[in-house]
A and B are shown apart, each in its own frame.
Chain A
Amino acid sequence: MINKFYTKKKSKHKQSPLQRNDRFWGYAFIMPMLIGYSLFVLAPVVATFFIGLTDWSLIRAPEFIGFENFKSLVTDEDFIASVINTLYFTVLLLPSNLILCLALASLLKDKFPGVGFFRTAIFTPVVTSVVVWGIIWKYILQTDNGIINVLLRMMGVKGPQWLFNTSLAIPVVAFVTLIKGLGMNMVILISAMNDVPEMYYEAANLDGANKWRQFRSVTLPLIAPTIFLVIIMTVIGSLKVFGQIYNLTGGGPGNSSYVLVYYIYQQAFQYYEFGYASSVSAILFIIILVLTLAQWNVRKRWVYHEV
């Protein structure tokens, strides 16, 4: 895949008018995208780092203060809570997501009557807006009238306050996110599993390997690059979690479900502390950058190994 990024080497011959024409239209065709990208993506990313070094709020003019924001973050309880909650959320989501997706993908990778329906059903939450998904679950998880607690009451059990309980808030949001995202990873894993050449399984069969052994020794190693991709994507997604938190718990109760993006949102757009919020953005950006680069590098290595 990486190889495709590189087109043919430039020819050393003098350019003909036709080639010059190509060059002109080449630049003309990419220009709008390039300008837009520079203005609306690149410039803001660079600016985030500078704003992070200032004391800048809606009412105060920006003032350069070096790394003061970062120093304050170390002792900021809400920030620490956000970091811990984000990590907690990631730790809850990642293994459960991976195991369930692998299981579902192995189950649904083969054709059998109804497989299309099951795949579609599992993918349905993926195409649903995070707001709608969050609102439906908020409705389902209400303490007094939510259907889950009503069903529990009919069985004689008193359901907990799912969304207003400090120790339940993050696990509940992680569960809701898990169900929403399963279909995506499952589809990616199915396509990787179906790319594994059938002859490996036939060989394993001849060697008398059972299904579980085949999964462990054939499927897993061969789809390892895709699993790695899924892991990185899931981690990046969890680091950016916001919509579910905003709509389900609003960061509460207290700061028990504050996460990084929620904290950025609150500092920047409720308190208008642009400088302080940008320092959090800068940290988040660096983490995502490192993860993405790791993914690109490992993928490249794996791609070469395969050849």
Chain B
Amino acid sequence: MKYNMQKTERSKKIAWKIVKYTICILVSVIMLAPFYWMITTSLKEYSKVLEFPPQFFPNPVVFQNYIDLFRMQPFGLYLWNSIYTASIVTLSVVFFASIAGYAFAKLRFAGNNILFLIILSGMMMPVEITTIPLFIALSKLQLVDTHFPLIVPQIFGYGGAFGVFLMRQFYITVPDELIEAGKIDGCSQPKIFYNIVLPMSTSTIATLVIFTFLQNWNEFFVPLIFLSNSRLFTIPLALSLFTTESGVQWHLIMAAASVATVPVLIVFFFSQRKFIESLAMSGLK
């Protein structure tokens, strides 16, 4: 009797394991299949893309689409535009948010808390709402159709607010004694920040770098509104506009989408813990 119960208990466990793995594998396949389809399409010859029955594995595997992509379209230029705007925003956010986060966490001045809450409120101001006045103002200043709107407002909007929040939460955990010791040694605040506090926060800064870079690398709404000169396009904007044209060349589009995605995915797979942490943090305001 007892033996039988143990047996049913065990077979129940095994059955549950099978169900669990089946669900997990099924969900993972649904999640990853679009990427598989994107990459395999980008490796097919043009004539094979629309073949019926479809090729689930490209035969032959060709890299011609990638070569064509960089030769026919100024794709390198879009890549460069994306890289450099996202980099400037990221570097600036790291700089401005870490000094502000440090001040809010460790320096006493009147209005510290209220000013922090004001900046924090930037996290709930959607870019979709601030865009019209910004567009009007920047067009008066002749800054529409430049990279200015992709860079400067992004430093101080959602990304900046999140950065200040993230850095402040970290700097609060730094012991006051370290800062006091720096003062006793005669260091000024910038020196204390740069020599003592900043080196301790490299891990948090890495989180902030990943979050900010990804956010701007993927940004679509702002470039769509502010850019019309195709030499200024970022990758997401270029991709989107080429797909709305008629006669879409899917093999090239998928190659372009792969170039935009695969580097991010590779970095993601190697540092997924930091990635997930940084993105989940942004939700937990």
A residues adjacent to B (C-beta < 8 A) = 4-8, 10, 18-19, 21-23, 25-30, 32-34, 36-37, 39-45, 47-48, 51, 104, 107-108, 112, 114, 117-140, 145, 147, 150, 154, 179, 182-184, 187-188, 191, 229-230, 233, 240, 242-243, 246-247, 250, 261, 264-265, 268-269, 274, 277-278, 281, 284-285, 288-289, 292
Interfacial chain A residues near B284, Cβ < 8 Å: 188, 229
B213 to chain A, nearest CB (A): 11
B1 to chain A, nearest CB (A): 20
Interfacial chain A residues near B221, Cβ < 8 Å: 242-243, 265
A to B CB contacts below 8 Å, 22 in the list: A4-B172, A22-B108, A26-B108, A28-B103, A34-B100, A36-B152, A37-B122, A37-B160, A41-B153, A45-B130, A104-B27, A123-B272, A124-B31, A127-B214, A128-B35, A129-B261, A130-B236, A135-B243, A150-B53, A230-B283, A278-B132, A284-B129
**A154 in contact with B35 (CB, 8 Å):** no
Bound together, the chains give a CA A139 to CA B102 distance in angstroms of 47
Residue of B nearest to A46 (CB): B133
Contacts of B118-136 to chain A: CB distance below 8 A: 118-119, 122, 124-126, 128-136
**B30 in contact with A179 (CB, 8 Å):** yes
**B96 in contact with A33 (CB, 8 Å):** yes
**A288 in contact with B130 (CB, 8 Å):** no
Which of A6, A136, A191 has most chain B Cβ within 10 Å?
A136
B residues adjacent to A (C-beta < 8 A) = 20-21, 23-25, 27-28, 30-32, 34-35, 37-38, 41, 50, 52-54, 96-97, 99-100, 102-105, 107-110, 112-113, 115-119, 122, 124-126, 128-137, 152-153, 155-157, 160-161, 164, 169, 172, 183, 188-190, 193, 214, 217-218, 220-221, 224-225, 236-237, 239-240, 243-244, 250, 253-254, 257, 260-261, 264-265, 268-269, 272, 275-276, 279-280, 283-284
Interfacial chain B residues near A36, Cβ < 8 Å: 96, 152, 155-156, 160
Interfacial chain A residues near B275, Cβ < 8 Å: 123, 127
**B28 in contact with A285 (CB, 8 Å):** no
